[in-house]
Chains A and B, each alone.
Chain A
């Protein structure tokens, strides 16, 4: 009875599949998804960065098939609108209503500071994908907070040394956005530059939303060796364009977001030759970045930049920590401990570890903006390995000083 046998075989196969499916069901039910809150900005001036963050996050999760440590990830994305008060309410929504296991975000430093006390109170692990305010991992470090990007000044210390030692610049004018990020970045540059014999002879601070840089550019002294520019968002684009229109009398060295890949695609000749420093550029040759940059370019048609890499790294940090605790994210203390001792071998930043304050130790590169393969790219010319937020300074002495600001460290060589 060949047919019968066939049927029996088919039946038993069906039964076996059904049984195994049934057996698998309770196992899946025991493992509810890991809930991850993701705070981005979809409206207002910061929305462009928010979009890149979402791309980095989406790419990271897709790469892991939506799983971390064997558990499905449920991503709850909220829009903070770039306002501190709204950010606080969104954080409450994530923690109290959605009961998330961890939060990735928010974007801006003032948003991160707005929820700083709150995350201390409720104790939820937060990984910052872009907020660079120095004190978050320095004088006001928070046990529940780690950062997947450097501090505002982290890469600028390196640029300061490079400008003085390798470029042999003597006198520099700084111009930067008049808010904490610009102040801190410029302060880091100034400190390392002056410690290596350079002099900052003029400091200019155009307001964040200034429509025209003309009145500031005309103030830039022309008897100096370079202009150091520290701009965020789309401001770098506008500054460099207008500076080129004024004939660009002295060359430009820049903080990383001034010529970030996110805005580099909108720039033209004016960006060529700008020397900058940063912990990420799409071209850097570290393990894992080639695949990452190519993947982002294939999926979204643009090079990854500061925000894309930051969000991806934050997601990768969480993934590594979840794996370290075998997916048991309900134990917040253990998850946070794993997060603080994260060590990644490869990825956009290459090898990266966290210092005891929860801030990454990673390579910082000096790059030159060049036209290659028909588009502008930041080509690496020097690498400073394993740079910490304290640069070469002693952490204790560093933390005893006031936080970097518009007036600290004081510029002693103005007007010379």
Chain B
């Protein structure tokens, strides 16, 4: 157990210590962005990696929460923490309704229906100008906290993001090991057999959907607090595709994959552009390389690479032990 936890603990501790070494808050904020993206990617990984349901509308969960918390805490004038609770609750209710529609399908149908659901909410955010501000979005979203917890400061906000990320890793790690998690992978690989054996496939998928929605909502909440601004762009098809890219590039179905995928995408997007003008091309090129060399993603790719290297290393020749000849 501890051997499995160790790499995650080291990674999170390293992220938490960025403020101690960074000369400017820029890198602290960048680390927060990695953490927020990772929480979202971990949520989507439940669907893509473990339920075998490829969603191209994941951005609807963070989007709903971000809009709800932004609206409630600016126009609604509610305290940020209360607004957050209402936003999370509201997102879960809408997600449950969406599940009734989306979980009727699998495969390509599921891809299209999730995309359509996300487009509906995107359209509402874009067109319902009197409430959502249209494409100008909602700005001035307050962060919670106060004198005792100055979340306005980048380092405190980073630590909040990391705590949520740690909770996500622990909860999802335990879930994947649980009988329900195993059953979920069963519905991914053999849905008809699972049904025949007596599992309620729909309900298992519903749990996975709600779990994905919950972590997506958490990511959306942090997103709204981090940017203090929401706009329909966060629910565009490209935003959903980006989360999917993180999961696929990192390695769907693994716990570390979404984390690494999120770090890769966020850092390539925001750090590479400082030095390279054509950073969009670099992004594309990187993913082509990943798909060519490690079609399952980085994490499975590396474990395969280490296994391959082990095989390459000449195994010590068996020691020749002079055997007593029977007839000697």
Contacts and interface: CB of A to CB of B under 8 A. Distances in A.
A-B complex is real: yes
Interface of A: 42-43, 78-79, 81, 83-86, 88-90, 92-93, 96-97, 99, 109-110, 113-114, 116-118, 121, 133, 135, 140, 178-180, 183, 405-407
Nearest to A79: B273
A88 B134 contact: no
Contacts of A90: 270, 273
A85 B227 contact: yes
B221 to A, nearest CB: 15
A367 B279 CA distance: 40
Interface stretch (B21-29, B199-207, B293-301): B21-29
Contacts of B228: 117-118
A84 B277 contact: no
Nearest to B231: A84
B275 to A, nearest CB: 12
Contact of A42 (B24, B140, B277): B277
Contact of A117 (B30, B127, B140): B140
Contacts of B30: 89
Contact of A110 (B25, B127, B227, B231): B231
Contacts of A178: 127
Given A42-B277, A97-B24, A117-B228, A89 B270 contact: yes
Contact of B26 (A97, A109, A113, A116): A97
A414 B324 CA distance: 109
A31 B26 CA distance: 26
Contact of B130 (A42, A84, A99, A407): A407
Nearest to A178: B127
A296 B130 CA distance: 41
B129 interface: yes
A179 B127 CA distance: 8
Contacts of A43: 280
B139 A113 contact: yes
A82 to B, nearest CB: 9
Dominant SS at the B interface? helix
Contact of B229 (A88, A109, A405): A88
A84 B269 CA distance: 13
Interface residues of B, number: 30
B289 interface: no
B234 A183 contact: no
Nearest to A43: B280
B136 interface: yes
Contacts of B27: 97
A93 B26 contact: yes
B189 interface: no
A21 B273 CA distance: 38
Nearest to B269: A86
A108 B234 CA distance: 16
Nearest to A116: B139
Contacts of A99: 24
B33 interface: yes
Given A83-B233, A117-B229, A179 B135 contact: yes
A81 B229 contact: no
A110 B270 contact: no
Contact of B134 (A84, A86, A96, A179): A179
Contacts of A407: 129-130
A84 B63 CA distance: 14
A315 B46 CA distance: 50
A179 B279 CA distance: 28
B229 A84 contact: yes
A43 B234 CA distance: 17
14 contacts: A43-B280, A78-B274, A84-B229, A96-B29, A97-B274, A110-B137, A110-B233, A114-B137, A114-B139, A117-B229, A133-B136, A183-B134, A406-B134, A407-B129
B270 A93 contact: yes
A180 B136 CA distance: 7
A34 B227 CA distance: 28
Interface string B205-230: 00000000000000000000001110
Contacts of B136: 109-110, 113, 133, 135, 180
Given A180-B134, A183-B134, A92 B229 contact: no
Given A86-B270, A179-B135, A405-B129, A114 B26 contact: no
Contacts of B227: 84-85, 88, 114
B26 A96 contact: yes
B129 A113 contact: no
Contacts of B127: 178
Nearest to B230: A84
